Amino acid sequence: MNKLCVLIMAAGKGTRMKSALPKVLQPVLDKPVIDYVIQNALSVGINPENVCVLVGSGGELVEEHVRKKFHSVKVLWQREQLGTGHAVKTAREFWKDYDDLIVLNGDLPLMQTESLKELIESCGKNDCTVITFNAKDPASYGRIIRKDNSVSIIEFKDASPEQKEIHEVNAGCYAFKVKSLEKIIYNITNNNSQKEYYITDSLGLMNDAGMSTGAFIMPEGDMLGVNTQRELSDVSCVMRERIISHWLNEGVRIPDTSSVYIGSDVKLSSDAVIMPNVQIYGESVIGSNAYIGSGSILTNAIIGDNVRITAYAVIENSELKEGSKVGAFVYIRDGSCLERNAYAGKFVELKNSSIGEGSKVPHLSYMGDATLGHDVNIGAGSITCNYDGEHKNKTHIGNNCFIGSNTMFVAPVEVEDGAATAAGSVITQVVPENALGVGRARQKNIADWSLRKRIIKSSQQ
C-alpha cells in the first residue's frame, strides 16, 4: 500500500471570475493557478502518479492542460457538482488504497513547499487534520472551534456573535487517514439549504465516532485563494514580490522592483542586472553579469554570461551565448541562437536562425531559417526570402562573408566561405568561395526625364 496521495479539487465553476476560462487555468504571472498547486505537491517528493486532479465545470480544458504538462498526474471527473463531500467520495477509487490522503484546493498557488512538508509530516497524528489560518479579516470563512482536543467547523451564517469573533478559519484543505475516512464518507448528508454534501461535516462525524481531529495552522499568506479577478491580481502581486525578493537575496540586481516581472521557473545568476519594465517568463536562464535592458520580454530564453540586451528585445525559445549583444528593438524567436560575441542590432528579426561566433546582423534585417558562420557581416536591410508559399527553405552563409546592404536571399541558397554580395542584389544561386555575388539589373539613366515630366504636367493645367 502506498503511504500518501494528494487530491486536488478543481471541479468548481468559478463563476465569480466572470471568465470563460476555468478558474484553475487563470494565469498567475506566466502559468495557470493549477500548475503551482501540482508543482508544489511534486516538489516535496510526491510521485506524479500519487497526485490526482478532480475536474468538473470546464473540465475538458483543465484535463487537456494537466495531461499535456503533467503526464503521470491522474485526472478524474466530478460530473455533477454536489459539494466538496461528494467530490471526495467521487474520487474514492483513486485514494482508497493509500494510507493517507491530502485534499488541496486547486486555487491555492501561494502555498509554499515548506508549509506542505510540515503538513505531510503531521499526517497520521489525527484521523482528520483540517488546514486553517488566522485571518486578519475572517469575513465569511467557516470558524474553527477547538474543544477537548478536537476540532469542528461552524459556518459563518450559523455562528454565534462570540464565534464570529474567532479569527482561526477553515482553509478548505484536509489530511485524512484513509481507513478513518472510509468509515464516515458515506454518512455525509445534504441536509442543508444548498442540498450539497460538504466535506466539512466529516469532522463532526469523526468526533461523534470518537476519532481524533485536529488543525494545522498555515500562514495566512499561503492560503490566499483565487475566486475573483481582484483576488487573482492580488495573488499575482504576492507571487511576483516573493520571486523578486528571492533573487535579490541571491545577488541579482533589480533597481526598480515595482516594474519587473519574473516567472517562478526562471533561473537567474548573481550579478545579473534586470532593468525596469522587464518581463522574464517560462524556463528562462539568465547568466552571470548579463544585462537585460528596459522593456525587454524574455520567454524560455537562455542568456549566457556577460550578454548585453540593450533594450526592448523580445526573445522567445532562443539562446544568446556568452558575450553576445542584441538590441534595441530586436525580435529573436523559434530556436534561434547567437554564438559567442555575436550581435543582432536595431530592428532585426531572427527566426530559427544561427548567428555564428563574432558575426553581426546590425540593423533593419530579417534572417529566417538561416545559418551564418563566424565573422559574417550582414548589411542593413538584408532579408532571407525563406518561404515559397509551401515550405520554409534554408539559407546558408559561410565564414568570413560580407553581405552588402539590401541583399535578398531567395532560399534555398548558399554563400560559401569568404564570399561577398553587392548591395541591392537578389541572390538566387550559390555564391562560390571568395567570389562576389552581384544579382541586380544594370542601371539605365533616361536623360531629361524630370524636365519632360514637368512640361507635360504644365501643358495639362
User: How much is the pLDDT for 456?
Assistant: 84
As separate numbers, helices (DSSP H) first and strands (DSSP E) second, the chain gives 10, 40
Name the residue with higher pLDDT: 298 or 193.
298
* Integer CA distances (angstroms), 144 to 21, 206, 210, 218, in order: 33, 15, 19, 13
**What does the pLDDT look like over 301-339, one tens digit per residue?**
999 999 999 999 999 999 999 999 998 999 999 999 999
Q: Over range 393-406, report the average pLDDT.
A: 98
Q: Are 350 and 331 in contact (CB under 8 A)?
A: yes
Residue 270: pLDDT above 50?
yes
**What does the pLDDT look like over 96-126, one tens digit per residue?**
999 999 999 999 999 999 989 988 888 778 9
Q: Over range 278-285, report the average pLDDT.
A: 98
Q: What is the mean pLDDT of the chain?
A: 94
Dihedral angle of Cα 446, 449, 452, 456, to the nearest 10 degrees: 120
Whole-model pTM? Answer: 0.90
Known catalytic membership, residue 363: yes
> Across the strands, what pairs with 53?
8, 75
Residue 1: pLDDT above 50?
no
* Integer CA distances (angstroms), 14 to 11, 81, 106, 255, in order: 9, 12, 11, 38
Selecting among 363, 374, 391, 396, the annotated active-site residue is: 363
Across 286-290, 344-348, 388-392, least confident range: 388-392
**What does the pLDDT look like over 409-427, one tens digit per residue?**
999 999 999 999 999 999 9
Return all residues near 25 (Cβ < 8 A) that are at least 6 apart. Answer: 32, 33, 34, 58, 61, 62, 65
User: How much is the pLDDT for 262?
Assistant: 98
User: How much is the pLDDT for 2?
Assistant: 57
Is residue 184 classed as helix, strand or coil in its secondary structure?
Answer: helix
User: How much is the pLDDT for 266?
Assistant: 98
Residue 341: pLDDT above 60?
yes
Listed in sequence order, the DSSP H helices in 71-176 are: 84-90, 92-95, 113-122, 161-164
The grid cell for 264 is 517562478
Is residue 159 classed as helix, strand or coil in its secondary structure?
Answer: coil
